[in-house]
Amino acid sequence: MTPPERWALPDLEAAAARCRERNAAGIRCILSPLGEYAGDGAVADRAGVAYRAAIGLIAAEGLDAAVAVKLSALGAGLEDWDDRLGRIVDEGRRRHVGIEIDMEGAALVGPAIASAEAAAASGAPPGLAVQAYLDRSPEDLSRILRAGITPRLVKGAYLGDTGDFSDIQRRFLDLAAIALESGRPFSVGTHDPDLLGRIVQTADRRLVEFGFLMGLADGAKVRMAREGWRVAEYVPFGEERAAYEGRRRRYLRSIAALGRSPVL
């Protein structure tokens, strides 16, 4: 049986408590108020309030943490969604709290990159996920690095241009090589032992951060932090947990079907 709070926590206060615990172990946190596609402005406005509340708490408590933002939760496609994001970016800049934009379906890749570039131009460069399973990602990664945006390399959890496991691994390592050659900071978001082993062998500890999900790789997080690597944990929270938790369970089933398991 899966513990009820393995993948996500009930509220912001619980996420802050988790973050304090992880910070004490040398692990940065990325707090993520959960929400799916906002179909109207009122729902999107509530998501904006939740993101800004997380920023305020991080600043008030002095946590080593950033806030993850989903454009779909802000009503991407609705009028004024970019204004909602702008208010979040402004609040993060004012409170000295980082913003990290999650990458979602392929249709939102362009808007996500444009939004990240606008934030960087305003003096608040965010983090931005780059999905290995998309053909466009090598070019996107170079563009992101030039803009001073910190990329977070991930395999991709939606629908990509390839679903072949080995091909996605190869693409991921190709992206890591581009990031390493740039000499700029970047993050690696994977629980794949093969990828982690390869990147650890070649990465500069000053430039790369290893990001993990809450509920996975607890041993690896603490061990790598003790070894001097930069480590972050993604900490989702809120009432809208069902869809997120479903994606996590599907992930475990998919890799089990391949005879594989995530790093421990």
What's the one-letter identity of residue 109? V
The closest of 77, 83, 15, 20 to 48, measured between CA atoms, is 83
Phi, psi of 153 (to 5 degrees): -80, 125
Alpha-carbon gap, residue 3 to 143, rounded angstroms: 41
**What DSSP designation does 207 have?**
T
* Residues sharing a CB contact under 8 Å with residue 110, sequence separation 6 or more, in sequence order: none
Check whether domain 12-257 has CATH 1.20.1050.10, yes or no: no
**For every one of its 264 residues, what pLDDT tens digit does the chain have, with 9 covering 90 and above?**
467 789 999 999 999 999 999 999 999 999 999 988 899 999 999 999 999 999 999 999 999 999 999 999 999 989 899 999 999 999 999 999 999 999 999 999 999 999 999 999 999 999 999 999 999 999 999 999 999 999 999 999 888 999 999 999 999 999 999 999 999 999 999 999 999 999 999 999 999 999 999 999 999 999 999 999 999 999 999 998 888 998 889 889 999 999 999 987
Three-class secondary structure of residue 227 per DSSP: coil
Indicate whether this model's pTM tops 0.85: yes
